[in-house]
Each structure stands twice: as structure tokens, then as C-alpha cells.
């Protein structure tokens, strides 16, 4: 099982720093503790209050935020706090004590939203579902993704893409959306409300380890790229994709990932996921949108954008 890793995130409020985890800490719940007595149900918050500069502790789905008193500055202590939280979590420390009298089911709403791809419907929840995007082409891909695995039991489900607070489903032509949307919406809502895990801890967002054949290797997305290892132009491309392109494609139920940059041909290759993969309008989006933006923002460095799938 993957260990917890804590990433320090500064906020717009200088007194507050977020310590973001690579896994969920709570299930769709948020907590605020202003002193050690209020934190009686949270051993980790109580431990943090032993630090004299801790004023308030906030615990959310995938982060712990701390508001400090003025006796110290965050650069002096934030690394030590991050290491303390990481160590506590990896030793199996309790985050929130279970209260048997609490209502287990959390009110969940899910609504369906059409996408530019007529074969894909986006199902949006009022809860954060995953920390990283994940795409599943078949039930074997979904062995560590209980929600996707269950969705593949529906004979009309072709592919599943999960990101943030939504699920995009690509269907076979055997059924129309009018016939199946309500059934899928209710299934996803009930699955989440019953407290089931969307992804297991062992699930990997992008993996090339599934098969070793040339065909499968060509189709498989690359593992997450370490941006620090990229050349300057590639880093600029990634930054533009993250800031300007991803929010737009996410609103349509899809995702875009940087694959590679060829300096000689001035070509950027990207991976399209979710509703963007196989979408009839994806070629137009690439050429009239993404390619034009990269050309304008990186003059003389990028001339072409190609999708290696979709």
C-alpha cells in the first residue's frame, strides 16, 4: 500500500498553510477545531495543538490546514509540521474517531450533463471523488477502481473516466442516453452515498505496466511526468495546458495530458481522455483551439499539436 506523502501548499492567507495528502483523509467531511478540547474526536488534531503556535486546525478530504499564531513564521516550522503529519499517518494514526451514532450515509446529489461527444455523458457529484484523474478502457483496467468496475457490469458501458467530482461514461450504441441516463445517475449516487471507495489506494492514474506488447504500449498513457525533468519549452507547454486548457476540457467531461515535445518539428503531442477521446470535434479543438493558443503564446517554438489517442 502506498505511503502517505504530504505536500506543503501556501494559501492567500499568510497565517494558514495547507498540508495536502496524496490520499483521502476523510470521506466527504470537513472539520474545524479551535482548541484541544474541541478536537476530542480527532487524535491528529489534538497532537497538533501541542505545538504552541497552532491556533486552528482544519481537516478536509485530502488536506489538513493550520492557522498559526504570530509567534513564528511558517518557513521556520512548516517542514517540521509536514514531517510530523506524514509520520503520524504512516504509522496508522487515527484522523477522526468513528461515532457509531453518526449518520453513515452522507447526502449526495448527482446530475447528468451532456458533452460535445455524443457517446459520452458526464455525471457530476456534489462531492470530491478522486484526487487524480483516472481512465479505464475495460473491466481489467478497473481492478483497483470499485466504481468503474461496477459500471462495467452494465453491458452498454464502454469506457469510464473519473476526475475530481465527476464520472464520464462512454457508451456502446446498443442503448440511447434517454434509456440509460437515469439508471446510471441513480447507481452512481447510491454507490457514493453508501460510502464505497471510488478508487482503492493501489489504483494508478496512468500506467504502462499492464501489457508489454507493442500495440498495448502504444495505446497506454505515460506515467505522470516530473515537470522538473522537462526542458524549458515543455515546462511552458505543461503550464499553459494546466492553466488555460484543462479547465475547459474538464467542463466537457474530459482531460488533456502532455506527452512530449519535439524541438526539431516543433510538435507537441498530447493525450486526450474522457469525453475528449474519440470526440468528433476533438480534431477541431486541437487545431483551432489548443494549437493556435500554443503557437501564439510560444512563438517560434510550437507549430503543431497532435493527439496520440482519441
* φ, ψ for residue 8, nearest 5 deg: -80, 125
Instruction: Give the model confidence (pLDDT) of 163-210 as tens digits.
Output: 888 999 999 999 999 999 999 999 999 998 888 888 876 554 443 333
Eight-state DSSP code of residue 107: P
Counting as low any pLDDT under 50, the low residues of the chain are 100-103, 204-223, 310
Q: What ranges make up the beta strands (E) of 104-249?
A: 110-114, 120-125, 134-136, 157-163, 166-171
Q: Please enumerate in sequence order all residues whose Cβ is within 8 A of that of 136, keeping only pairs 6 or more positions apart, or say none.
A: 142, 145, 148, 152, 159, 160, 161, 162
Q: What ranges make up the beta strands (E) of 11-109?
A: 16-21, 31-33, 54-59, 63-68
pLDDT at residue number 72: 93
Grid cell, residue 166, equals: 465527476
pLDDT at residue number 204: 46
pLDDT at residue number 59: 94
CA–CA separation, 127 and 108 (whole Å): 7
pLDDT at residue number 276: 75
Closest CA to 178 of 156, 160, 163: 156
Q: Please enumerate in sequence order all residues whose Cβ is within 8 A of that of 1, keeping only pairs 6 or more positions apart, or say none.
A: 201, 202
Q: ∠ CA(170), CA(171), CA(175), 5° rounding?
A: 155
Q: Is the pTM of this model over 0.85?
A: no
CA–CA separation, 23 and 63 (whole Å): 9
CA–CA separation, 8 and 205 (whole Å): 22
CA–CA separation, 302 and 269 (whole Å): 11
Amino acid at each position: 500500500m502506498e505511503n502517505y506523502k504530504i505536500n506543503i501548499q501556501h494559501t492567500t492567507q499568510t497565517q494558514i498553510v495547507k498540508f495536502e495528502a496524496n490520499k483521502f483523509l476523510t470521506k466527504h467531511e470537513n472539520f474545524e477545531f479551535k482548541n484541544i478540547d474541541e478536537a476530542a474526536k480527532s487524535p491528529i488534531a489534538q497532537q497538533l495543538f501541542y505545538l504552541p503556535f497552532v491556533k486552528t486546525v482544519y481537516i478536509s478530504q485530502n488536506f489538513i490546514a493550520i492557522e498559526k499564531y504570530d509567534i513564528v513564521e511558517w518557513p521556520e516550522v512548516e517542514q517540521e509540521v509536514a514531517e510530523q503529519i506524514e509520520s503520524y499517518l504512516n504509522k496508522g494514526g487515527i484522523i477522526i474517531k468513528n461515532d457509531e451514532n453518526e449518520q453513515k450515509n452522507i447526502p449526495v446529489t448527482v446530475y447528468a450533463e451532456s458533452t460535445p461527444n455524443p457517446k459520452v455523458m458526464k455525471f457530476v457529484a456534489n462531492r470530491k471523488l478522486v484526487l487524480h484523474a483516472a481512465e479505464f478502457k475495460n473491466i481489467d483496467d478497473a481492478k483497483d477502481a470499485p466504481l468503474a468496475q461496477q459500471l462495467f457490469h452494465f453491458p452498454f458501458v464502454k469506457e469510464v473516466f473519473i476526475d475530481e467530482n465527476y464520472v464520464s461514461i462512454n457508451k456502446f450504441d446498443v442503448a440511447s442516453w434517454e434509456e440509460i441516463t437515469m439508471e446510471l445517475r441513480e447507481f452512481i449516487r447510491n454507490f457514493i452515498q453508501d460510502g464505497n471507495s471510488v478508487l482503492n489506494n493501489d489504483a494508478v492514474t496512468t500506467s504502462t505496466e499492464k501489457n508489454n506488447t507493442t500495440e498495448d504500449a502504444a495505446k497506454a498513457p505515460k506515467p505522470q511526468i516530473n515537470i522538473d525533468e522537462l526542458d524549458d519549452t515543455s515546462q511552458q507547454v505543461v503550464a499553459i495546458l494546466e492553466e488555460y486548457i484543462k479547465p475547459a476540457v474538464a467542463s466537457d467531461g474530459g482531460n488533456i495530458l502532455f506527452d512530449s515535445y519535439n524541438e526539431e518539428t516543433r510538435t507537441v503531442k498530447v493525450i486526450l481522455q474522457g469525453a475528449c477521446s474519440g470526440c468528433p470535434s476533438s480534431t477541431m479543438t486541437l487545431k483551432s483551439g489548443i494549437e493556435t493558443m500554443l503557437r501564439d503564446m510560444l512563438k517560434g517554438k510550437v507549430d503543431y499539436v497532435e493527439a496520440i489517442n482519441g
